[in-house]
Structure 1
Amino acid sequence: MVQIGNFFFKYRNFLFIFLYLALFIPSTPVFSEATFGPHYYRYPLIIGLAITILGQLIRGATIALAYIVRGGKDKKVYANTLVTNGIFAHCRNPLYVGNILMLVGAGILVNSLLYMLVFIPLFLFIYQAIVLAEEHFLRNKFGTQFDAYTKRVHRWLINPVGLRKTVSGMHFSWKRWLKREYNTQVIWLLFIVVILVFKYSNNWAWDETTRNTWFIVAVLVLACYYYTIRYLKKSGKWEEV
């Protein structure tokens, strides 16, 4: 599993593009009109959006409170220090938990049984392998310090005990959140927009002109957001907190 994890660690960014594109593979729906009535689409819409937004919020809180270098080094697992504060004091892999929720929510939002039964389990297997590879590295580098950390903090489950105290006792750097996360945010939001506009437009009785107008407006807003944050980051106008 460690070798498998090291392999996928190199290509994990491409993995997300593949998984987002897989959302649009035709599939039997999870929620259907025959089972849930004429307003069945409300279930995947509300549940899917709630879960995927929760995933992004978890990522945001993690990065804003105690940022961890996610890129590795030379496409290999790497860490200078063992980060155990912030959300990492309540879960060893909160960023990955956020990613999982973002994709599970997107799968529910697109109402794809195929995605939920095939691609999500595949994604979970790959992430488990990546985490085991990272833990192998961290255990070799930090030894008993990492072992002690694993004994008090769960690999996947976020322990809510003391979470409020953790958040209130640390500085929340929303600038760091936006600077470090805007690429992920824009890609995620773009796919959410595509799903909402092109999958749900019939449920909202939009004609083609209305649908296309909303899509163009959403893309322009995302483009403005992307290039604004990129400019602020590259120009040095936002100092790292």
Structure 2
Amino acid sequence: MVQIGNFFFKYRNWVFIPLYLALFIPSPLLAPEHRHRLLLLGLGITIAGQALRGATIGLAYIERGGRNKQVYASRLVTEGLFNHCRNPLYVGNILMLLGVGILANSWLYLLLFIPAFLFIYQSIVLAEEHFLRGKFGAEFDGYCQRIHRWLPILRGLRETFSGMQFNWRRYLLKELTTLYVWLLGIVLLLFYKYPELTGYDTALRNRLLFIIIPLLTLAYLSVRYLKKSGKMRG
């Protein structure tokens, strides 16, 4: 599993492309008679996932990119939300994809692609833990005994948020591409999977998409320019 995890870690950023495309594969519906409930449930879960990622990045930075496409860490990060869950970013990813899967109203996505995603992330986590245990030894073992791999510990969350300052610039700069792709996916799902939102008016849907997608892209490119030029730092 460690070798499998190292492979997926190297290419993990590409995993989201087929997972997002899979949202639009024709599939039996979860609950055709409860479409609006699924809409609200899916949005709630996926927004909770992004909020968890945002809180994690904004409170305590972790070297998420590795080094040379391999698992790497210069120090063991245990503050912020890492004091409540060993993998809060990955839990956030799982919630984001689970939410959009529900939003897509797709049995295929939930029964096939979500389990595949969970397998990939479990193998990545095992590879990361193998590296961290080898580098930090007893310190990492003690951390594992205190903090769960997946299940967040809610005790002390208020103290964590009150005792640390949220860095919104770091959140925006580090999460920029993920945020852009996530919002783009939600917009497309809402307009194509829920035509009743535009009164089943295809022309109105296309006009709205022609406005919203360029605005999202412009915002993304603007922040990316500020990041690359050094005019905005986290």
TM range (shorter): over 0.9
Any residues of structure 2 matched to 1:14-163 within 5 Å, and which? 14-33=14-33, 40-163=34-157
Q: How high is the TM-score relative to the length of structure 1?
A: 0.94
- In the TM superposition, residue 203 of structure 1 has moved relative to its aligned partner by 5.4
One-letter code of the match for 2:39? L
Give the unaligned 5+ runs of structure 1: 34-39
SS at match of 1:42: helix
Q: After the TM superposition, which segments of 4 or more aligned residues of structure 1 sit over 3 Å from their partners?
A: none
- Judge conservation of contact 2:60–2:79 (CA < 8 Å) in 1: yes
Distance 1:151 1:196 in 2: 42
Q: Deviations over 1:98-142 (max 9, x none)?
A: 000000000000000011011101110111010000000000000
Q: Distance in 1 between matches of 2:198 and 2:47?
A: 22
Matches within 5 A, 1:220-239: 220-239=214-233
| Letter matched to residue 15 of structure 1 | V
Residue 76 of structure 1: how far off its partner (Å): 0.8
Cα distance in 1, alignment partners of residues 204 and 17 from structure 2: 28
- The reply on whether 1:212 has 2:206 as its aligned counterpart is yes
Deviates more, 1:51-60 or 1:224-233: 224-233
Q: Which moved more, 1:223-232 or 1:72-81?
A: 223-232
CA distance in 1 between counterparts of 2:165 and 2:44 reads 26
SS across alignment from 1:68: coil
| Consecutive unaligned residues in structure 2, runs of 5 or more | none
SS in 1 for 2:14: helix
Per-residue Cα deviation, 1:151-191 (whole angstroms, up to 9, x for no partner) = 11110011110011101100100010001101100011111
Equivalent residue number for residue 166 of structure 1: 160
Tell me how far apart the structure 2 counterparts of residues 55 and 225 of structure 1 sit (CA, whole Å). 22
Amino acid at match of 1:145: E
For the residues of structure 2 that align with 1:229 and 1:161, how far apart are their CA atoms? 36
- Cα deviation per residue 1:8-64 (whole Å; 9 max; x = unaligned)? 11111111111111111111111122xxxxxx2112100000000100000000000
Q: Is the 8 A contact 1:41 1:203 kept in 2?
A: no
String of CA shifts for 1:48-97, please: whole Å, max 9, x gaps.
00000100000000000001111111111111110000000000000000
Counterpart of 1:8, as a letter, is F
Deviation at 1:204, TM superposition (A): 4.5
